């Protein structure tokens, strides 16, 4: 069985950052990924100028399939309908439907309380869209326990979610346990494993703060031992991600979704060391 390989990028805040991203995307295109997904900030008013612009470039200029992220907690139905129309006109028919984080200083709108509300809405008014959803091997931080979290995930799939992409994780065993729970709950859609290669200490510490992710002993040892040696830390961080991917591919994971942090060099390194293991889907040359 082959596993897909896809990348995530984020639209930068500046014009210079955007032209740099377009250069990065050209390099990612060479790796022939199954798709590239584009994140979308929850508090940005101008999705058209950020996510949609980058997704349009990937789909129409680079001819690479793309998934546009769409967090909807602060959107109303008419706004989502207009965005869907724009995506449709650009030929983009893949969406990662999200609720998005609730910002402490901003009350969310009431149209899309949960991602499942958005998924149901999209499938109702624009069934031509292929809809993915987010999932959390270590449980979404707001969930009381695994059982309710899986129940809500099941609801996403029931209303039309066709693929799941996980939050990043560093312990594959937690992913396998999560996969099993999904299977037992009759969630049979492909689950792509989100892998983030950690290449510096600051990045790793930020991740621990902002996500619910546990750092296994082996990973913590890397951070500690190479604390003052950024080159060695990067080498070890990349090797760790490669090791995770090889294990996942060996266990027939549906796909690897690489959080690239807009770093083509890192993506190329990972691709180079896993392309034969992932096999088939990643076409060389």
Q: Which is nearer to ligand FAD, 9 or 270 (CB)?
A: 9
Asked whether 256 and 285 are in contact (CB, 8 A), the reply is no
Tell me the window of 12-20, 54-62, 120-128, 139-147 that interacts with ligand FAD (CB under 6 A): 139-147
Helix-helix angle 264-278:15-29, to 10 degrees: 20
Alpha-carbon span 17 to 23, nearest angstrom:
10
Q: What are the start-end ranges of the E strands in 107-245?
A: 130-135, 163-166, 191-195
Annotated active-site residue 8? The verdict is: yes
Asked whether 278 and 256 are in contact (CB, 8 A), the reply is yes
Using CA atoms, how far residue 8 sits from 34, 100, 117, 152, 174, in Å, is 11, 16, 24, 24, 22
Residue 201 sits in the site that holds ligand FAD (CB under 6 A): no
Is the CA virtual torsion 273, 277, 282, 284 positive or negative? positive
CB of 149 to ligand FAD, least distance (A): 5
3-state helix vs strand vs coil in the chain, percent to 5: 45, 15, 40
Q: Which is nearer to ligand FAD, 38 or 270 (CB)?
A: 38
CB of 4 to ligand FAD, least distance (A): 14
Tell me 141's DSSP state: T
Q: Which is nearer to ligand FAD, 206 or 218 (CB)?
A: 206
CB of 131 to ligand FAD, least distance (A): 11
CB of 230 to ligand FAD, least distance (A): 27
Residue 181 sits in the site that holds ligand FAD (CB under 6 A): no
Tally of CB atoms within 10 A around 268: 15
Name residues contacting ligand FAD, limited to 27-86 (CB under 6 A).
39-40, 42, 69, 71
Residue 214 sits in the site that holds ligand FAD (CB under 6 A): no
Q: Label the pairing between strands 4-9 and 35-38.
A: parallel
CB of 71 to ligand FAD, least distance (A): 4
Tell me the window of 99-107, 229-237, 239-247, 272-280 that interacts with ligand FAD (CB under 6 A): 99-107
Which residue among 6, 50, 167, 260 contacts ligand FAD (CB under 6 A)? 167
Which residue among 3, 4, 94, 116 contacts ligand FAD (CB under 6 A)? 116
Residue 98 sits in the site that holds ligand FAD (CB under 6 A): yes
Residue 9 sits in the site that holds ligand FAD (CB under 6 A): no
DSSP codes of every residue in 83-138: HHHHHHHHT--EEEEE--PPPTTSPPPSS-SSHHHHHHHHHHH-TTSEEEEEE-TT
Q: Rule CB under 6 A: which residues touch ligand FAD? A: 39-40, 42, 69, 71, 96, 98-101, 114-116, 134, 140, 142-143, 149, 152, 155, 165, 167, 194
The residues assigned a catalytic role are: 8
């Amino acid at each position: 069985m082959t596993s897909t390989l896809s990348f995530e990028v984020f639209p930068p805040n500046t014009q210079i950052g955007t032209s740099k991203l377009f250069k990065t995307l050209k390099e990612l295109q060479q790796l022939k990924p199954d798709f590239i997904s584009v994140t979308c900030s929850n508090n940005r008013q101008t999705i058209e100028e950020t996510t949609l612009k980058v997704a349009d470039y990937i789909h129409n200029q680079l001819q690479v399939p793309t998934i546009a992220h769409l967090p909807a907690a602060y959107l109303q139905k008419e706004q989502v309908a207009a965005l869907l129309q724009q995506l449709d006109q650009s030929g983009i028919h893949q969406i990662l439907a999200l609720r998005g984080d609730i910002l402490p200083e901003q009350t969310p709108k009431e149209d899309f309380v949960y991602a499942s509300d958005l998924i149901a809405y999209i499938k109702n008014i624009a069934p031509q869209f292929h809809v993915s959803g987010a999932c959390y091997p270590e449980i979404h931080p707001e969930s009381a326990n695994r059982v309710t979290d899986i129940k809500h995930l099941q609801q996403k799939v029931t209303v039309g979610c066709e693929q799941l992409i996980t939050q990043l994780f560093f312990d594959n065993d937690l992913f396998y346990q999560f996969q099993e729970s999904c299977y037992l709950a009759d969630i049979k859609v492909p689950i792509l494993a989100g892998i983030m290669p950690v290449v510096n200490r600051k990045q790793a510490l930020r991740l621990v703060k902002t996500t619910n992710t546990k750092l296994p002993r082996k990973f913590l040892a890397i951070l500690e031992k190479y604390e003052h040696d950024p080159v060695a830390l990067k080498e070890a961080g990349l090797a760790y991600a490669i090791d995770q991917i090889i294990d996942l591919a060996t266990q027939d994971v549906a796909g690897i979704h690489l959080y690239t942090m807009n770093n083509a060099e890192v993506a190329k390194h990972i691709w180079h060391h896993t392309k034969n293991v992932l096999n088939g889907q990643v076409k060389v040359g």
